[in-house]
Amino acid sequence: METHQAGSCGSTAEADEKLMKVQSAISQFRMVKGALIPVLHEIQDIYGYLPEPVLEVVSAELGLTMSEIYGVASFYHFFSLTPKGEHVVHLCMGTACYIKGAQGILDRLSTELHVPVQGTTEDNKFTLEATRCLGACGLAPVMTIGEKVHGRLVPGNIPKILKEYK
């Protein structure tokens, strides 16, 4: 459903606008050597993930096979081939956070949201992700929900924080 809306055959004004942004990104990078990764970054910026029909556009425009594009997109953690929920919860699993109990926070998030790590809730509200390092070790354990940072967490904080976004 979502994939169709986001894709090249989308009919809404919003979908057209997004596709225009993709076209402009492609023309911006067309002459750049190694354009694929910068283009994928732009697409993920526009849609929040990499929709298949849009990757087909990239394939045609940059003259790359879909297998090459998938090969690259699936290799890097930052790229996602599936849509994300409205709020993406990034729990830092860097060493400093882990030592200070990030696993317990992750388990609690998973229990409260009823999703496994990398999962999205049924109502598409939340996606739970474990990230490598947010580089804010002074706030360990730390997580971000959207742009907002929540630091110095204990598992007991989680229900209250999630409630802010429900």
Residue of the chain from 7, 10, 83, 94 that contacts other proteins (CB under 8 A) = 94
Task: State which residue, 16 or 82, has the beta carbon closest to other proteins.
Answer: 82
CB of 23 to other proteins, least distance (A): 19
Decide: is 41 part of the binding site for other proteins (CB under 8 A): yes
Find out whether the peptide bond into 141 is cis, omega within 30 degrees of 0. Answer: yes
User: Which residues, in sequence order, are bridge partners of residue 150?
Assistant: 143
Q: Report whether 57 contacts 10 (CB < 8 A).
A: no
| 61 lies in the binding site for other proteins (CB under 8 A) | no
Distance, CA of 119 to CA of 87 (rounded, Å): 12
Contact call for residues 132 and 120 (beta carbons, < 8 A): no
| Near other proteins by CB under 8 A: residue from 10, 85, 129, 131 | 131
Is residue 48 near other proteins by the rule CB under 8 A?
Answer: no
Residue bearing tokens 């706030």 = 139
Q: Considering only residues 79, 88, 121, 161, which one is a binding residue for other proteins as defined by CB under 8 A?
A: 79
Verify binding: residue 134, other proteins, rule CB under 8 A. yes
Tell the burial category of 143 from Cβ atoms under 10 Å away from its Cβ (0-12, 13-18, 19+). Answer: buried
Q: Using the rule CB under 8 A, which residue among 108, 115, 129, 162 binds other proteins?
A: 108
